[in-house]
Structure 1
Amino acid sequence: MALILGIESSCDETAVAVIDGAAATLAARIVAQRIASQDDEHRPYGGVVPEIAARAHAETLAPMVGAVLRDAGLRLDQIDAIAATAGPGLIGGVMVGLVTAKALAMAADKPLLAVNHLEGHALSARLAEPGLAFPYLLLLASGGHCQILEVRGLGQYRRLATTIDDALGEAFDKTAKLLGLGFPGGPAVERLAREGDARAVPLPRPLMGSAEPHFSFAGLKSAVMRARDAGLHRPADIAASFQQAAIDCVIDRTRRAMAAAGPVNALVVAGGVAANAALRGALTALAAEAGLPLVAPPPKLCTDNAAMIGWAGAERFAAGLTDPLDALARPRWPLDPDAEPVRGAGVKA
């Protein structure tokens, strides 16, 4: 294991970190990191605008690399390898980060590590919990993805479920927009839900109890819109009822996946929605029901960050897996390319 410079630019967070792959604790593993949010740029539009995001990455990334190296007390030639998100994500932002990593790797004559953003999330639990061993069951819930995967080892993933329409984080963001809560939406819905009654608004639980293993949140989002338009419920009650309905669906689908998976050492939740405290509580109870620990990285490692990319790069580097300088940026990049196709226009591999 080695010192890895990690770069993340797949959506609307510009992030750089230095990771010590040989350190034994989370605090020591993250030598330095910085994250620049683009919330102010995207807030007027109620969501991420890809062109604005790419431009912001281009303006921010190079100075941030220099700042993180100074924070770490390191020169570029002391870094062992350069890791960057190569997909999936908004292709403009992915290209900015990957091209920057290629330039740094070429200039310093260092290996390049083209990291799958989803693998960064999948391995973030091993960054946070040094003793976590493969295999484990992963619920990956973010703005772009909602999947359950059996993580058997580095680069070895078996997809058990995915969304057939909206991702969970996307449903949270759209609910926030419907309720006029602003951007980013997920934390705003969670805050408002604390003031509401989760039983006040009758909302559907799509696919709950179904033999089909996958997720669906589009119908739930539409039901939220109808509840808002009816004018019969407080926004706080709608938020709380939406959050509870979404959690009920997640728990039902995860319980089903646990029955279908092989023996695992833990239930892991990662991705931006993993920062939701109510979801963590429900998953903790589910894991205990199965006699498993719940491993949830700290909230700062659940949202997009460069520490997880640097850590995934460190694991790949230790395994001798480096990439050529012509590695491609990918808008889509499934962790399990052999997974069976799933019905639904909104399927995120």
Structure 2
Amino acid sequence: MRATPLPSSAPPVELQLRAFADAHGVVPGSAGAADWLTPLWAALRAAGIARPGLAFAAWAETAMLGGLVPPILANSPDVAALLAGLQRFHPLLGRNELVVERAGAAATLTLRSPDGGAADPDTVDACFGVVCHVLARLTGGAARPDRVRLRRPEPADPAAHRAAFGPVAFGQPRDACDLGAGALAARIRQADPVVLAMLEPYAEQRLAAARAPWSATVESVMRRLSDSAPPRLPDVARALAVSPRTLQLRLRAEGLSYASLADAFRRDRALALLAATTLPVTAIAARLGFATPAAFTRAVRRWTGATPTAYRAGVTRGR
């Protein structure tokens, strides 16, 4: 059975992960779920692939991932510029957050899950493995990590990780890929600055479009899910394919909260129903999820300075 394809607007990494799973006879779960990668890796292991993250990295090529990011990387002048571009434009590839930390002449690459926590071990293998393959190919083997640090305990046979990454340390506080000054200075063979200058502005436009305010997106989803009481936070998070914690963090970064958006949603519905219908106040309160009519009255007074009945009467007189 073949996997149901994602729409072409899906991140390129997700498209290729589904293609990889399909090639191995595994049907992934819904990519719209907040966490669909962990079950996918488990299904691939059950299908006989011992290290699916490393297997995906060996199977994938940057050109296969598609989109604007691979040609930007291939036309960066050196590895330091490549990593800067990868960190900046990684949201165009997938949902995990890739972070590059510079310390003097060295750099450390880390990966975080969409909720800001540690990424799945196989996702880390896939990411670091692809990076290692890309660096080796674009620099003719001149750039390799100094060391890869992994949180998981050392496996019984670490040979596959060493073959993919080089020096590996297990049982570390975090997953990280360390690159020294020599690797960062390595030149990208056949890089074309003209091509890079053409692609980067377009990628910036795509990135800006992808970073629409979360509050606006949440409001749109809330309207789609309900025309009365505000939908629950977990339901909105599920519709956006993120965890509730991630959604709260994104809104907090905009100086908002889900509670404030839900209150505004309920206010707009309440005032519209009072102004445009003859529904009893008690019916409106129940429709909007208020525990009691008194709680609804207190909310309308907070929003407008008037009781529901007085607000409705004022709107009616003003027509």
State the TM-score, normalizing by the size of structure 1. Answer: 0.24
Which has the higher Rg, Structure 1 or Structure 2? 2
Structure with bigger helix share is 2
Structure with bigger strand share is 1
State the TM-score, normalizing by the size of structure 2. Answer: 0.26
